[in-house]
Structure 1
Amino acid sequence: MSELKTGDLAPTFKLPGDGGEDIDLADFRGQNVVLYFYPKDDTPGCTTEAINFTGAHADFEAANTVIIGASKDSVKRHDNFKAKHELAVRLVSDTDGELCEAYGVWVLKKLYGREYMGIERATFLIDAEGKIAKVWRKVKVKGHAEDVLDAVRELNG
């Protein structure tokens, strides 16, 4: 599968989301969508990233932009994660990994000399027409939410 890039049509999805409601990308046509992939609920980097996006939630909303976090965690784990940290972002459960595969974020990772498959921390900005407007790969959490918000503002002109 080739890597997604700016201008590509974003792969569609309809998956279980937090709170038990399905999240369907098609429902957000006419709005920008920030789809960010993260390895695991309630781990330090992932928690910081979700809290940072939550902190900027009102600014994203004002810019006609929805934030959706995606991992392979279950809906129940997502619900617990959201409640524990009072998160304002939507979370989608990709337990079978199809969404991760479609966006090319299920990758070979290395930690302490050990290789394993896991989710690459990555973010995709999808415009109101459903096309990829910007891609961030191998995301560093510090300052990332602000970078994404700047890109949304630039996209909106």
Structure 2
Amino acid sequence: MSALKEGDKAPIFKGLNQDNNTISLDDFKGKKVILYFYPKDNTPGCTAESCNLSDNYDELTNQGFEVIGVSPDSITSHQKFIAKHSLRFNLIADTEKEILEMYNAWGEKKMYGKTYMGVLRKTFIIDEEGTIIKIFEKVKTKDHTNQILSELNK
């Protein structure tokens, strides 16, 4: 699949959230969506990013955003992650990596000289019509809300 870019229609996805309910991008028509992809529940960077978005959830929803996180972790893992950190939005368990691949958020990574496949931390901002208006490929995990809002309010 070719890389998604700003101005493209966001691919319509379906996945199971932490409550084993199906969530689809179609469920959020008329709302702006912050769709963020992260590697693993309860790891330092992923926890910082998720908590930053959750801590600022009221501000984001007041500006018309809905937040959805996606990782290859299981529903059970997401339930524990949400409970431990009081996260306030849906997390999709993409164990088959279908959504990750659809959004080009699964790919080759390098660490300590080794190459492996893994989650590419990315955030997509999708407008009310389903168009990608911003892609963040360099995510500031500890200050992601400000990163998003300052870029969109330019």
- CA drift of 1:138 comes to 3.4
CA contact (8 A) 2:49 2:143 kept: no
Cα distance in 1, alignment partners of residues 143 and 77 from structure 2: 26
For the pair 1:112 / 2:94, whether they are aligned, the reply is no
Q: TM-score, normalised by structure 1?
A: 0.94
Residue of structure 2 equivalent to 1:78:
78
Question: Which consecutive unaligned segments of at least 5 residues does structure 2 have?
Answer: none
Question: 4+ residue stretches of structure 1 with deviation over 3 A?
Answer: none
CA contact (8 A) 2:17 2:93 kept: yes
CA contact (8 A) 1:53 1:89 kept: no
Q: TM-score, normalised by structure 2?
A: 0.95
Question: Which consecutive unaligned segments of at least 5 residues does structure 1 have?
Answer: none
| Partner AA of 1:129 in structure 2 | E
CA contact (8 A) 2:41 2:77 kept: yes
Indicate the RMSD between aligned Cα atoms, in angstroms: 1.3
Cα distance in 2, alignment partners of residues 68 and 74 from structure 1: 15
Residue of structure 1 equivalent to 2:29:
29
Number of residue pairs aligned between Structure 1 and Structure 2:
154
Cα distance in 2, alignment partners of residues 151 and 129 from structure 1: 19
Residue of structure 1 equivalent to 2:122:
122
Residue of structure 2 equivalent to 1:98:
98
Cα distance in 2, alignment partners of residues 151 and 56 from structure 1: 16
Counting aligned pairs with the same residue, the percent is: 45
